[in-house]
Structure 1
Amino acid sequence: MPKKSFDANHEKYRSKQRKPQTNRKATEQTDAGFSDPALAYLHKKRLFSELLYEHFSGKEATIYVLQGQERLLAAKLYTDARIRSFQRDELYQEGRFITNNKAKKAMATARRFGITPEQALWVSSEFQFLSDLFEAGLPVPEPVEVAGKVLLMEFIGDEDAPAPRLSDERLDWKVGEGYFEQSLDMYARLLKLGYIHGDYSAYNMLLHNDRLVLIDFPQTIKWREHPEPIKVLEQDMRGLTMSFSKYTKCTPEEAAQEVIRRSGITEGELRA
């Protein structure tokens, strides 16, 4: 089957009701190569053949859609400002120990891509957490590679469009309530595996094939290795219930109790 051109794909994408958060073509790739050295490195490794378009650009990162060897990929390129600010996020610094081999390599080669090993810790940690959760069967994008400020992963969506954020969708009340229940189950699974997301809300969930896919893990912690896990969990539940306020009257306190109950752990363990 012949591969569709970028312009054909992009024009079809623009014609759909749910529009991308940015329609700009990518400026990261030029005739002279890539402005980011980590993207250039990943391209040289033949992990992708072409940078197709910029899907999203925010204060923390820019998301690019790439043509991989056999499938579409997504590249999360952190902004310089966000990379510098990671070290000020004291609440999330505890319990970060890198064991994943690809993540270790990314830290060891950080200076080659213009960042310090301390800054690379955050990007490498996100890759490691994503790897652990994907291997455990949670609905998260499959991680592919990490280098410098770039996290390369599975693209969630299809040839026509990236999967939308749940927060951008207009849902019937009953449907929204169902996704809220799904989000509680997903968080309980995270807890049982020993993780707390750190920024849990409908803004960090994609809707794909009628199921939620969880994204964005730079603030994730291993709660057994963190001094105040209950504080991070309670913050997550405030973000969750606020983002689902159209579909549920559940309070943050009730949500916290429910995810703890579903996880099978005790509140005492989180407060120990």
Structure 2
Amino acid sequence: MSHDTSRPFPEDFLRPDDRSPVEGIDETFVFTFDTYADDLGAGQQWSRWEDLEALMRGPEPRPDWVVTSSGAIDTELGVLKTGKEADVFLVERSDPHDADGSVVMAAKRYRDTDHRTFHRAASYTEGRSMKRSRDNRALKRKSTWGRQVAAGEWAVSEWNALRRCWELGLPVPYPVQIDDTEIMMEWITHDGETAPRVAQVRPEPSVVQGFYDQLREALLTLVQAGLVHGDLSPYNTLAQGDRLVIIDLPQMVDLVGNPRGMDFLLRDCANMAGWFRSRGLEIDEQELFGDLMAHAF
């Protein structure tokens, strides 16, 4: 076959001395890449972030500390807390090629129905509706998220509640991702350690008053959105210094749609009012309840 001199061979683009590419090559064809380890250590796995659908990732805008690198590795650090329906672990997510791209998160893992020691009362799920149109669309498409929503797991309930509360500006951990029955979320710390439960602290009177102001504001935001925590107490609120953080949200109910919505709200008020009275702040749960209901509609 004869050589068409009008079409240069590839070697015509190379210098005769070192056979390297000639200068002036289009930079859009030049790229660099980092190599990652083929094998991971014990307790490690590749981040699943890239594999998850949009509804399985935290709401935007995301905090700067969220690691989204496709080369990130999740390393198990140990158990943080055990519970009746779920255990919480600490997991570090880091990119080996980004020294600053590392974060420790809390991973809440719900047990399957065969390994739970406590089953949620059906009263929590009464009147629960699919208010999010995107969840309805996911169900119709039968996507991964749609199948997870259809399963009705408590992990999905907590994930939706966390996302909703974060979008409302409430003091809750940022929800990073949900994958099957595991929710990864912000690890709430104080002075480098896990923030204590409110039930465990004895703050100064000024801090107690600040906690109450924050609690009232959070409850007002919830009821104005038609929501009730449903299981609020000093044991599922954290004291991050002088900041109050609300956790454990899988049983969140609709204030009006659930027949016991107002009963749950009154119980939430009573649980928290009792703690404030024990710390010297005279709070009446009936007055708090009435105040909230006055702003609910």
Q: Does the TM-score normalized on the shorter chain lie above 0.5?
A: yes
SS state of the match for residue 277, structure 2? coil
Q: 1:96·1:125 contact (CA, 8 Å) conserved in 2? A: no
Q: Which runs of 5+ in 2 are unaligned?
A: 1-40, 52-69, 95-100
Q: Which residue of 1 aligns with 2:29?
A: none
The amino acid across from 1:265 in the alignment is: A
Alignment length (residue pairs):
223
Q: Which residue of 1 aligns with 2:151?
A: 117
1:216 aligns with 2:255: no
Distance 1:109 1:132 in 2: 17
Percentage of pairs with the same residue: 26
Cα deviations across residues 130-189 of structure 1 (Å, max 9, x unaligned)? 111111211111112212321111122268212222221121234223312321121111
1:260 aligns with 2:293: yes
State which drifts further: 100-109 or 71-80.
100-109
Matches within 5 A, 1:90-101: 90-97=123-130, 99=132
Match among 86, 99, 123 for residue 61 of structure 1: 86
State which drifts further: 191-200 or 143-152.
143-152
Distance 2:240 2:50 in 1: 31
Q: Which residue of 2 aligns with 1:85?
A: 119
Say if 1:65 and 1:159 are closer, same or farther in 2 by CA, change over 3 A.
Answer: farther
Distance 1:240 1:155 in 2: 23
Q: Which residue of 2 aligns with 1:127?
A: 159
Matches within 5 A, 1:64-213: 64-69=89-94, 70=101, 71-80=103-112, 81-82=115-116, 85-86=119-120, 88-97=121-130, 99=132, 105-106=144-145, 108-109=147-148, 117-118=151-152, 120=153, 122-157=154-189, 160-213=192-245
Match among 282, 286, 289 for residue 249 of structure 1: 282
The amino acid across from 2:106 in the alignment is: A
Looking at secondary structure, tell me which structure has more helix per residue.
1
SS state of the match for residue 85, structure 1? coil
Cα deviations across residues 107-144 of structure 1 (Å, max 9, x unaligned)? 6158xxxxx914x2x21121111111111211111112
TM-score normalized with structure 1 length: 0.70
Matches within 5 A, 1:8-87: 31=42, 42=48, 49-69=74-94, 70=101, 71-80=103-112, 81-82=115-116, 85-86=119-120
Q: 1:173·1:246 contact (CA, 8 Å) conserved in 2? A: no
Q: 1:77·1:151 contact (CA, 8 Å) conserved in 2? A: yes
1:238 aligns with 2:277: no
Q: Which residue of 2 aligns with 1:9?
A: none
Say if 1:242 and 1:89 are closer, same or farther in 2 by CA, change over 3 A.
Answer: farther
Q: Which runs of 5+ in 1 are unaligned?
A: 1-29, 111-115, 267-272
Distance 2:73 2:109 in 1: 15
Q: Which residue of 1 aligns with 2:10?
A: none
SS state of the match for residue 203, structure 1? coil
Q: 1:106·1:147 contact (CA, 8 Å) conserved in 2? A: no
Distance 1:43 1:54 in 2: 22
> What is the RMSD computed on CA atoms of the aligned residues?
3.2
Distance 1:106 1:159 in 2: 37
SS state of the match for residue 235, structure 2? helix
Distance 1:265 1:43 in 2: 38
